Chain A
Amino acid sequence: MAVIVRPTPSPRPYPAVVGSFLRARRLVQRNLLVYRHSWMVIFSGFFEPLFYLLGIGYGLGTIVGDVELSDGRLVTYAAFVAPALLAQSTMNGAISETIFNVFFKLNFEKVYDAILVTPLGIGDIALGELMWAMIRATIYAVAFVGVMWVMGLLISPWAVLALPATLFCSLAFCAAGLATSTFLRTVQDFDLPFGLIIMPMFLFSGTFFPIGIYPEPIQWAVQVTPLYHCVELLRGLTTGVVGWSLLVHVAYLGVFGSVAMVIARRRLATKLIK
């Protein structure tokens, strides 16, 4: 009778979280390989906020004129809208990666079912997709901050913190997008998050004008959304309206992202393991 000797597991030289990170890295690598054939999708995504900046910021800006910041200074409309479009550009990158791609991988391509046969677990998949989506969102953020710099729209020295700040935005949106995609069942379901959440957020979160013109209840509703906190945080940094309140936005985005990530991980587990 053969005796099966299980190899004694060698003690891990690093904490568990590092192990998960090292495994999740493979998923990022996989996504990079896939995108080598459709880089146009990522590349073209950068132009959407740029066109908005040119069309709305400069074109419509000639009619709107200057806008008053919360500290009473006047800035051009382009300088007012640009940080909001930076937030939106980060959100776009995060969402098109998580909501769309994860949905197809989960339901049609069965990528994760295949991945689970490898040493990667559910947590590694969630972390890997989060990392990759944050990389994509950050690519857009870097490119857009570059555009703002060239166009002279970074009007405060605090703007050097704008890029690190976008990491909190992309964490919040990537995690929220991951969680959302696990709740969608058919392609038609996409209309719900886009029509009822993302589009209204884009239009009403202080993107194009200060939210002060709304009645109070609407202002409260707006202040619950993550995009509002991103816009306020980034606008504060690029225009130099800086105070402790910016840390509130950072904290909100961090907590929002972490909670969404816990939900996403749980939902992925129930979807993938029957």
Chain B
Amino acid sequence: MTALRVAQRNLWVYRRTWRGSVFGSFLNPLLYLGALGVGLGSFIAAQDTTALGGVGYLQFLGPGLLAAACMQTASFEATFPIMGKISWRHNYEAMLAAPLSVRDLVLGEISWMAVRLTTMALSFMVVLTLFGIPTSPLAVLGIPAAVLTGLAFFAAIMGFTATQKNDSGFAAMFRFVINPLFLFSGTFFPVDRLPDAIEFVAALTPLYHGVGLIRGLVLQTPELANWPIHLAYLVAFTMVAGWLAYRLLHRRLVK
């Protein structure tokens, strides 16, 4: 339970800085869906939608963006803020001087991230509903699925951050990992449009499984039949990544 103290500390900080997250969780989806879903979608509607699995482009894009937004928020939170606590402000050193262990830090950060992602996915789902996208009551389950997708990235990147001396690696990580995932993991178009080799790589990434799971739940497409694979992948990935993050952070903080 001591891990919750770490989450509580983050909550106190967040009470002063929450305003910025309004953009990520409400304004961005509104703009993206308005521009790409409705605008570009009106172009695609005139043509054949079988390439999208029989749904309109707005419907196709909405759940994908939810998964991608969780990935982006979680990835950002796992870089600069964690780096700050490791080496700029030394918060973790201070915490370890209290009756907290490295395990508490990792679990506390992850549980706080889960809270943040839940509020974000919830407001995102409200926007999706405003656009009339969800076609199934199962869409509610899209919220925990989105949280899980975000946590997979949070845990993995927290481990990466623990290995970095300063923040110069982050720009490259976002540009060469997160951004390509955003564009090529089935958010904007089905991965079967990619060359086979790239499609194969895309199918190995957590975002692909997050997008598949959430899209299946929100639209109740045939894709939903694959939910055990997507879910098992995301759970396994998050647990392995979380354990690695713990090992790496332990090595970094405990001499």
Residues on A facing B (Cβ under 8 Å): 38, 40-41, 44-45, 47-48, 51-52, 54-56, 59-60, 62-65, 67, 188, 191, 194-196, 199-200, 203-204, 208-209, 213-214
Q: Is the CB of A188 within 8 A of B17?
A: yes
Known contacts A47-B179, A65-B47, A195-B27; can you find 14 more A-B pairs with CB under 8 A? A47-B175, A47-B176, A48-B179, A51-B183, A63-B44, A64-B44, A64-B47, A67-B43, A191-B23, A196-B27, A199-B31, A203-B32, A208-B39, A209-B39
Pick the most buried of B43, B47, B168: most chain A CB atoms within 10 A of its CB: B43
- Are A59 and B17 in contact, CB atoms less than 8 angstroms apart? no
Query: Pick the contact of A56 from B32, B39, B183 — CB < 8 Å?
Result: B183
Q: Please give, as numbers and ranges, the residues of chain A lying within 8 Å of B194 by CB-CB distance.
A: 59
> Which residues 188-238 of B have a CB within 8 angstroms of A?
188-189, 193-194
A195 touches B28 (CB 8 A): yes
Please give the residue numbers on chain B whose beta carbons come within 8 Å of chain A beta carbons, in ascending order: 17, 19-20, 23, 27-28, 31-32, 34-36, 39-40, 42-44, 47, 51-52, 57, 168, 171-172, 175-176, 179-180, 183-184, 188-189, 193-194
Given contacts A188-B17, A203-B36, A213-B39, A63 and B52 within 8 Å (CB-CB): yes
Q: Are B40 and A44 in contact (CB under 8 A)?
A: no
Q: Are B44 and A40 in contact (CB under 8 A)?
A: no
Instruction: State which of B47, B52, B168, B175 has its C-beta within 8 Å of the C-beta of A38.
Output: B168
**Bound: A203/B24 CA distance, A:** 15
CB distance from A9 to the nearest CB of B (A): 45
Known: A41-B168, A44-B176, A62-B51. A55 touches B188 (CB 8 A): yes
Can you list 9 contacts pairing A with B, beta carbon distance less than 8 Å?
A: A40-B168, A60-B188, A62-B51, A188-B17, A195-B23, A199-B28, A203-B32, A204-B35, A213-B43
How distant is the Cα of A209 from the Cα of B40 in the complex, in angstroms? 6
Asked if B27 and A51 make an inter-chain contact with CB atoms under 8 angstroms apart, the answer reads no
**Residue of chain A at shortest CB distance from B33:** A203
Asked whether A64 lies within 8 Å of B43 as measured between CB atoms, the reply is yes
- Are A188's CB and B40's CB within 8 A? no
B17 in contact with A203 (CB, 8 Å): no
Name the distance in Å between B31's Cβ and chain A's nearest Cβ: 5
Contacts of B175 in A (CB 8 A): 44-45, 47-48
Q: Select B31's contact among A60, A63, A203, beta carbons within 8 Å.
A: A203
Alpha-carbon separation in the docked complex, A194 to B173 (Å): 21
Chain B: CB-nearest residue to A194: B23
Could you tell me the distance in whole angstroms from the C-beta of A188 to the nearest C-beta in chain B? 5
Contact partner of B183 (CB less than 8 A), chosen from A55, A64, A200, A214, is: A55
Q: Which residues of B contact A213 (CB under 8 A)?
A: 39, 42-43
> Contact at B179–A51, with CB atoms within 8 Å?
yes
